[in-house]
Amino acid sequence: MSLREHPRLKITTTAPGTFAGSLSGRRPMSGVLWGAVLLAALVASVLITVSIGPANLSPLQVLGSILRHLGLRPESFGAAVELTAIQDGIVWELRLPRLLTAALVGAGLAVSGAVMQALTRNPLADPYLLGLSSGASLGAVAVLLLGAAVLLPVAAFAGAMAAMVLTLGLASALGVITPTRTVLAGLAVSALASALASFIIFFSAQGDSYREVLSWMMGSLSAATWGSVAITGVAFALAGTPVVLSGRILDGFAFGDIAAAALGLNVTAIRWLLLGGTAILTGAMVSVSGSIGFVGLILPHAVRLLTGARHRALLPLSALAGALFMVWADTLARTLFDPREIPVGIITALLGAPVFIVMLWRWRNAS
């Protein structure tokens, strides 16, 4: 019997402790329709946000610049608007790669959060639950204080992977990998990595290195380039796409490991594979953006309120919602106090915390 045919999955599956749109009693809007709406909003947002800033550009000029660089004729799309070389450089070399990086980071963190919440059956789970953020921070802090900032993405990625291996290894050493053991192991690894990073900063940081370390730990996309787009794009294609396509399998975990095993799923192997995939995805995203909170925690819950808890729709819609959220969050970080720029992690926390409180309140009323 396939997962789709199983009678227990005929209902709107809701993992215990998660907030689902079905709680309101409304019939969820079609996932395909929501996907089309979010995709259109994302494309329009990229064109609009690239034009926002002191260079006085219009969305039509942005579209014309992009089409020319893609080898297309702007006239064919009604975007035959002239740009100076400086304006074209601002669009193609500065703002567009930064916003595409923001979109990919948001998509990766949101998908990872949705998967983490399903596998650990913990509504507060996010990509950093396994100590990935603390591990990446430890690696980044080490190279920044050594004066080797060029190695920051590599060091952050290596730190995140080391934390993931240590967490899963510790959980495995305690017995069969269960959600509770995984979460507890992640908390231990996170605390250890945070303590080591603080120790290194306390004894080594001097002068401007304090500011550089602090900026990275609060999350920033100010240094994003086309290389950042390549790193996050390849990571999402290789690790994110298989995870996004695992929705039907994750639905099998909605009623716990025993029910999933009864459906014929190899619970331990699937948990290892999906946790590994999300760890790789998160490590790649964190390596270029620094620590950005709330995206992986908030966006999956927000999408559940719209479409229900079925992961086949939840995962791709979370990716689109995460990308859309990060595009606007980074634009606010870049322009809100122009010419001064603030770390995007501050914006995501300021936006995410109130939204999470509202969702907690709705969940309380629904309960």
DSSP string, 314-352: HHHHHHHHHHHHHHHHHHHHHHTBTTB---HHHHHHHHH
150 C-beta neighbours (distance < 10 Å), count: 9
> Three-state DSSP class for 217?
helix
Report the pLDDT value the prediction gives residue 22, as an integer from 0 to 100. Answer: 44
At residue 207, the pLDDT reads 66
Region class of 219: left (phi > 0), else alpha (psi between -120 and 50), else beta: left
Q: Using CA atoms, how far apart are residues 304 and 18, in angstroms rounded to an integer? A: 9
CA angle, 303 then 38 then 357, to 5°:
35
Spatial distance between the Cα atoms of 206 and 146, rounded to a whole number of angstroms: 11
- Which tokens go with 256? 């716990």
**pLDDT recorded at residue 2:** 45
Chain mean position to CA 156: 16
Which residue from 20, 284, 326 is spatially nearest to 127, judged by alpha carbons?
284
> Rounded to two decimals, what is the model's pTM?
0.84
At residue 187, what are phi and psi to the nearest 5 degrees? -65, -40
- Alpha carbon 60 to its chain centroid, in Å, reads 29
Return d(Cα 163, Cα 149) in angstroms, integer.
21
Buried b (16+ CB within 10 A) or exposed e, 155-175: bbbbbbbbbbebbbebbeeee
For residue 17, what pLDDT is reported? 44
Supply the pLDDT for residue 28. 54
Whole-angstrom CA distances from 330 to 149, 308, 351 are: 22, 28, 12
What is the C-alpha to C-alpha distance for residues 322 and 353, in angstroms, rounded to an integer? Answer: 15
CA angle 147, 131, 316 (to 5 degrees): 105
Separation CA 307–CA 26 (nearest Å) = 10
Task: Give the residues of the chain that fall short of pLDDT 50.
Answer: 1-25
Residues 246, 119 contacting (CB under 8 angstroms): no
The pLDDT of residue 9 is: 40
How many angstroms separate the CA atoms of 159 and 162, rounded? Answer: 5
* Spatial distance between the Cα atoms of 102 and 324, rounded to a whole number of angstroms: 9
pLDDT score for 1: 45
> 125 is written with which tokens?
């789970």
Measured CA to CA, the distance from residue 9 to residue 14 in angstroms comes to 10
CB 111 within 8 A of CB 240: yes
Looking at residue 367, what is its pLDDT? 62
